Structures are given as structure tokens and as C-alpha cells.
Amino acid sequence: MPLHSIQRLSPTAVLGLWHLSETPEELWRLLPWQEAYLPLMPATADAVRQAQWLAGRVLIHALSLEIMAVPPTNLVVHNDATGRPWLPGTAHNLTVSLSHSGAWAAAVLSQGGQVGVDIEIIRDKAQRLASKFLAADEWAAAQAAAADSHTHYSLLWSAKETLYKLAAQRGIIFKTQLLLGSFVPQQSGEIPATLVLEGIKTRHCICYSQPAPGYVLTYCHEPAA
């Protein structure tokens, strides 16, 4: 079972990473409540997408054992109309964020609060699309700071994806509502961020790292007030 790591973010939240090497059939055997999950599997998913989908859910169940000694029997990960994962039918106030890319799946599970996580393969796509998701000052800062441009732009895209998931709201414009502050790029660190919703600005902190060669990871957990 390639559960790569579990990191406790707070007394009520954990971050997990899964290094995917199993077939869908092997992952099915690791998944509880198989009868409940069978109709939820995306009908058009190929073997790679099936394995990513299953690994994310196996990971969430593993994280639930870190949050509570006896997970609820009705803990089944669903997706809402936007594709965002959620956990219905539980009285434990669990919130979840899930991401997968290539051979990795990442998840944050928390009792209450807001969570967001994203993992990305480093590639040139984010740099090519920079004008569509970066504000002018963010783009200028990226051009000045990026020694490894593909890594840096992939990190910026991932950070905005995490902030988008934290907001849990449709119709957000990445370029004007998900704003990243200045930071010195390192192997791991924090990025100050601002979320603009209905004219109200809120401040957040996006943590980042490179969990494996060729990948960037970003996440945020904010406990309930």
C-alpha cells in the first residue's frame, strides 16, 4: 500500500499523499463500502483515471482513521455538481479536498473549517496560460523571479487552484478574485493570498512543497472560528 505520508496540520486536520502504483482492481480491494462506490465511479474513465479516482478515495479513508478512532459507517466520498468532493450523511462535520495528477493523489481531511489542496505535474502549460490566470503584477513578479520558469508557473497555478477550492464557490475569476502576494521561491514555503468575494477581501496562507521530482503541492487549512 503506497501511502506515502500523513502530515497533521492541526489537532483536527491531516494532509495525506498517495503514490499511485496499483491497478484499479487492486485499489478496489483496498476501498471500503465498495457497493456504495460502484455507481459513483465516472462511467467514461479509462484505467488511469479510474486508478486516480480510487486512490483518492482510499487515501481519504486512510486519513479518516487519523481524525477519529472509529470513522462513521456512512463515510462515502461523493462529488457535487461542480466535481468538488464532499462527505454527506455524517454527523462529524468533516470537510475534504482532493487532488490527483499523474502518479500522485493528495487530500486534506478536517473536522470543520475550510480546506484546499492541489497537486500538479510541472510542465509548460501554466506558463503558456499565465496571462489568463495571473494578474498583471503577479505576472511581472513571476517573470522577474522565475529561475525555473516551468516549476514557478506551475506552483502559481496550483496555489490559485487551492485558493479556489478553499473558496468553495462557482464562477470565480482566477485573475481578479484569487490573488497571490510576493514570496521568495524555495523548495517549500508559504504564499500569502487574498480571496475577493462580493467585494470583501480575506487573507489566507498557501503552503507549498515539491513532494517528488516533477511535481508541486499546495494546500491550505483554516480551522473553524
At 33, the pLDDT band (50, 70, 90 cuts) reads: confident
pLDDT tens per residue across span 193-205: 999 999 899 999 9
Which residues, other chains included, contact 62 with Cβ-Cβ below 8 Å and sequence gap of 6+? 3, 6, 16
Are 106 and 7 contacting, i.e. CB atoms less than 8 angstroms apart? no
Is 60 exceeded by the pLDDT of residue 208?
yes
The DSSP bridge partners found for residue 205 are: 192
Q: What percent of the chain has pLDDT over 90?
A: 73
Q: If you write DSSP's letter for every residue of 93-129 in order, what string do you get?
A: -EEEEEEEETTEEEEEEEESSEEEEEEEE--SHHHHT
Q: Where are the domains of the chain?
A: 3-112, 119-222
The least confident of 10-14, 25-29, 89-93, 158-162 is: 89-93
Domain 3-112, what architecture?
Answer: Alpha-Beta Complex (3.90)
Question: pTM (2 decimals)?
Answer: 0.94
Is 70 exceeded by the pLDDT of residue 1?
no
Residue that has been written with the C-alpha cell 507549498 in this structure? 208
Q: pLDDT at position 87, please?
A: 87
| Widest Cα–Cα separation across the chain | 52
